Amino acid sequence: MDIYKLFSRRKLGIVALFLLAPLLIYLISQSQSDHFRPLVLGVGEILFSLIAIIGLWMAAKQYRQISKKYHVAWLFLLIAVLSTLVADLFWRFSSNPRFFDLFISAADVVYIFEYLCFFIAMGVFGAQHFNRIEWLKRAFDISIIIISTLMVFLIFVFTPALKILQNQSNTSNFLLMLYPLADIILMFAVLAVLYFKPRKIYLIPFWLFLASFAILCVTDYLFGLQMIKEEYSSGDMVNIGWWYSNLLLGLAGLIQYKFLISKDNTEVILKKITPFRKWLASWVVYFPYMMVACVYLLFIVYHNADPNLLRQLLSGLGAIFGLVLVRQVVVIAENRQLLISLTNANHKLQLQTQDLKGEIDKSNLIQEKLSYDAMHDSLTGLSNRVLFTNRLEHAFEKIKRQPGLVYSVLFLDLDDFKSINDILGHNAGDLALIELGHRLGKCIRTVDTLARFGGDEFVILLENTEDVDVTLSVANRILVELQNPFLHNERKVTVTCSIGIVQSIHGYRNPEEVLRDVDIAMYTAKKTGKAKFEIFNIEMGTAATYQLEVEGELHRAITNKELFLQYQPIINLADHKIVGFEALLRWQHPMRGLLEPDDFIPIAEDSGAINPIGDWMLRAACQQMQSWSKNCPDADEMFLSINLSGKQLLKPTMVESIAQILNETGLNPHQLTLEVTENTLIMDEKVVAECIVALHALGVTISVDDFGTGYSSLYNLNNFYIDEIKIDNLFAENIAPGKKNYEICSSLIRLAGQLGIRTVIEGIEELNQLEVFTKLGCEMGQGYYLARPMLASDVLCYIFEEQTFQLPSE
């Protein structure tokens, strides 16, 4: 943090003034008389001591919330300055003569206590957590420096001083030498701080400490020389050094306090080592050896000196040599320990590397498998929808670069595959899908893409199909290949498929549009016969769009009352009396006009809307029939015929729904005839048979609509409770004696009579048809020649007015 951010220009000016204050006060004292000079000097000592006390107290107080350790360190600095102030007061203002004794003074004791506090403070600052060997190394380094320094002091301080003071008492000599020794101890503490690098004191306060202690040591040295030479007098210029020492300590405390209360103090306090501190750490390692070199240089220079001095130098050199030797042993032990640790770490790292490599290889294998599984079908191993869509997107990109390329897409759906799962089991179905994947792969080229979308759906992307015959050839090969049965437990299983084709993806914007249209083509192939292929065209898209729109509109047709019923009379052909009505569903679409059942019933069956529509139709027709029965006695003998789709008949709650409707409307069950197609009967024979039995139990009549056009007509008569058959109008077209349709109808009517099943002919459009079926013995008939469908409001009038149908000739 920049110091200029902590202090304004005004405050920096005040700091600069304080730095000049010791010099100014000293100059003022020199201009005073001998009587007032001590007073001015005393004020200066008190002032600068107070500045130091205030700054150190502020830092110590702020550290109390941050670090107890450094709080104690700053407190010891504060105590040291207080000790100095007390000693100065003893020195200058005590009236007791013994306090002015140059060598035996109570102030000296307090001064020495000051150094002790400084030493403790620096020791707390330098205390760090190191291992034992690191502590030993640093302790040896500091000891080498201290002994080397003692040697320097011995030659330049102690020896000259003792020569001068050889006539003084031992106590006086001890006290005189105690100050340089205290400075050496203080130097020891400063070295500890340098070596142990405290991290929670900012760089500027730290260097102010060092500057303060350096000034203190120099001042003590100058003071000692003056005292030895008996040249010191109160008010000497040496006092400025002590003042500056206190002033710098105060500034250090004040600046540290400012850092602590700043907004980003945490970043400041815990600041990583600055570049300067890195530089310091790099050369401080060599400092002990530099001091040893100085001692050896002194030995070379003073080898002819006094024998006592020479012995002291040799003793110091011996101690230094011993320390260096022991330190080297410690370093060797550390290096050996580090080598062992490094070897173990290297071995451990190798093992971890091997394990990590194994884990990475395993992870890569898993990743590859996951990537493969994400792009491939788990059963067949073929591409899945994701990968196929990706390939299709690449095809679009290639077409953008090369517009002449042509791609075709084939969509395959197996016909009646559910029956294989139901009859042979899902395992057989899975095996069939796997085998089918192999066979399809044989029908395409290596550049083409085969994918399974799930279930029994497969998709193929053919490349370079500029010639339409290439696509058709692949489709034909697939159909031919599937004619060969699969073998399952020595049982032959034949599977067919319906194929939709999009001949070219040109003009499409994205894969979704292609898959939409090829799916439409596939369903067209399935609806128009299965085991074939259809190429998508615009008409298919229009039909699909129509179906989608109608599906959405069907769900609101009932709510909007757009559906209504018409009723077509059913006539007894023997006496031409009205015996019943068939309810016919119509849809008055608000936009499309009147829609016949063929326009929306198949869509309703596909979308699931047939069930609510069928329930509505049953309820409305039964209510209407019951209403006619109440208003017309003859209607009690008539019946109402209603068509049921296969989806309705297979609904689990169908019988309960019809019973509820009959109960709610009050209609006699014998008046209700339910028509089902032959194809409905074979959808799920067991379920259908149970449903028909239950409906019979209700008293409802069961009729087979469009008889003769479905599958296994005679089989149905034998296996289901059938009360009535409605011969399809196709048999009534151009009917005449001698024709096949005549003989077929004659046989059907005769067979039905023998089985007790009543017969109804649909689609009587001409008199000839009426006469033929009357002659053949058909019981009932309906058609436009007899009566057109009519609204419910017209039925009662028709019953009253036309109870007996009148032939035109009549």
Domain-by-domain residue ranges, the chain?
A: 3-128+197-270, 133-167+275-373, 385-536, 549-801
Is the predicted pLDDT of residue 498 greater than 80, yes or no?
Answer: yes
Residues 586, 617: Cα–Cα separation, whole Å: 10
Residue 276's CB is within 10 A of a number of other CB atoms, namely 10
Taking residues 137-148, report their average pLDDT.
72
pLDDT band at 473 (very low <50, low <70, confident <90, very high): very high
- If you search the block for the tokens 């600095």, which residue do you land on? 77
- For the domain bounded by 549-801, which CATH number is listed? 3.20.20.450
**Amino acid present at 771:** E
- Residues near 418 by Cβ (< 8 Å), separated by ≥ 6? none
Helix boundaries (H) for 31-105: 37-63, 68-93
- Per-residue model confidence (pLDDT) at position 464: 85
**Residue 704 phi/psi, 5° resolution?**
-100, 115
Taking residues 358-381, report their average pLDDT.
88
CA angle 196–199–201, rounded 5-degree value? 110
Residues 35, 14: Cα–Cα separation, whole Å: 31
Is the predicted pLDDT of residue 266 greater than 70, yes or no?
Answer: no
Which residue would you say has higher pLDDT here, 770 or 166?
770
Question: Which own/partner contact pairs does 554-557 have at CB distance under 8 Å and 24+ positions apart?
Answer: 554/600, 554/603, 554/604, 554/607, 554/609, 554/613, 555/609, 557/587, 557/589, 557/613
What pTM, to 2 d.p., does this model score? Answer: 0.53
Residues 558, 562: Cα–Cα separation, whole Å: 6
**Residue 7 phi/psi, 5° resolution?**
-125, 135
- Per-residue model confidence (pLDDT) at position 4: 46
Fold agreement (385-536, 549-801): no
**Amino acid present at 807:** L
**Between the CA of residue 292 and those of 159, 194, 325, 536, what are the distances in Å?**
20, 18, 13, 99
pLDDT band at 449 (very low <50, low <70, confident <90, very high): very high
- Per-residue model confidence (pLDDT) at position 1: 45
Pick from 135-144, 281-290, 687-696: least confident: 281-290
Pick the CATH number of 385-536 from 3.30.70.270, 3.40.50.720, 3.40.50.300, 1.10.3860.10: 3.30.70.270
